[in-house]
Amino acid sequence: MSGDGRIRLEPSWKARVGDYLQRPDMQELSAFLRKEKAAGKRVFPPGPRIFSALDATPFDQVKVVILGQDPYHGAGQAHGLCFSVLPGVPVPPSLGNIFKEIQADLGIAPPGHGCLLPWAQRGVLLLNAVLTVEEGRAGSHQGKGWEGFTDAIVQALDREKEGLVFLLWGSYAQAKGKLVDARRHCVLRAPHPSPLSAHRGFLGCGHFGKANRWLQGGGRAPVDWSLPPRAEVEALLADSGTSP
């Protein structure tokens, strides 16, 4: 699905959504990606990182799901985790607002970089609704087939797990909320953290503290929303085979 026909999925996810990738619409998506690359267009994230969110957070480890829209479309930004950028890449405005809210909510200072891999390794699935994008064209791969695949991911989580927290920011993420049984899971909604909308209710939403209180109420450990220094994150990336 990287556009070269090779599909590699983390085993726990492959067992649940691997078959979906064989569907005709997904084969069409793969052909589309190959065609785009053959035409000289740059597609982000790089092929090996398209499924990084699933690699970093195996199914059984998921406690919290953050749903993004599509990857960052600037060179060097997207690496497969929604809202995250690699160390050394300037923190995008939306992520800056996420850090601002965490500081207001939990008193945790921004980390000085934008790599969220430690969250993913602590059980926070950082999933975009659309997993690829053309350089410089936000939303360019919407409607090409990814939405059905990520719907299948959300449905598997809803069906097989109990007591997850879903953080749905903005209308695009909230549309997936219809796939989640809010009687069995905690579904928190707010405007998108983009500077265009964050002031309309994302800032002040308190989602990070609410997520932890929900988890603790169910007898589970809260998420540590702090992030280690850049050097430690770079070591984690190297260990996971996705160093910058």
Distances (CA, A) of 142 to 65, 87, 94, 114, 134: 20, 27, 20, 25, 11
User: Which residues of 4-136 form beta strands (DSSP E)?
Assistant: 43-44, 64-68, 124-128, 133-134
Both tokens of 184, joined, read 């069995």
Q: Are 121 and 223 in contact (CB under 8 A)?
A: no
Other beta carbons within 10 angstroms of residue 146's beta carbon come to 22
Peptide bond into 45 cis (omega under 30): yes
Q: Which two tokens stand for residue 151?
A: 């719907």
- CB–CB of 128/82 below 8 Å? yes
Q: How far apart are CA 70 and CA 15, in angstroms?
A: 24
Point out the catalytic residue in the list 55, 70, 105, 158. Answer: 70
Read off the tokens for 243: 């160093």
70 has catalytic annotation? yes
Q: How far are the Cα atoms of 41, 47, 101, 144, 229 from residue 133, in angstroms, in the given order?
A: 10, 11, 27, 11, 29
CA distance 100 to 96: 6
Q: Which residues are the active-site residues? A: 70
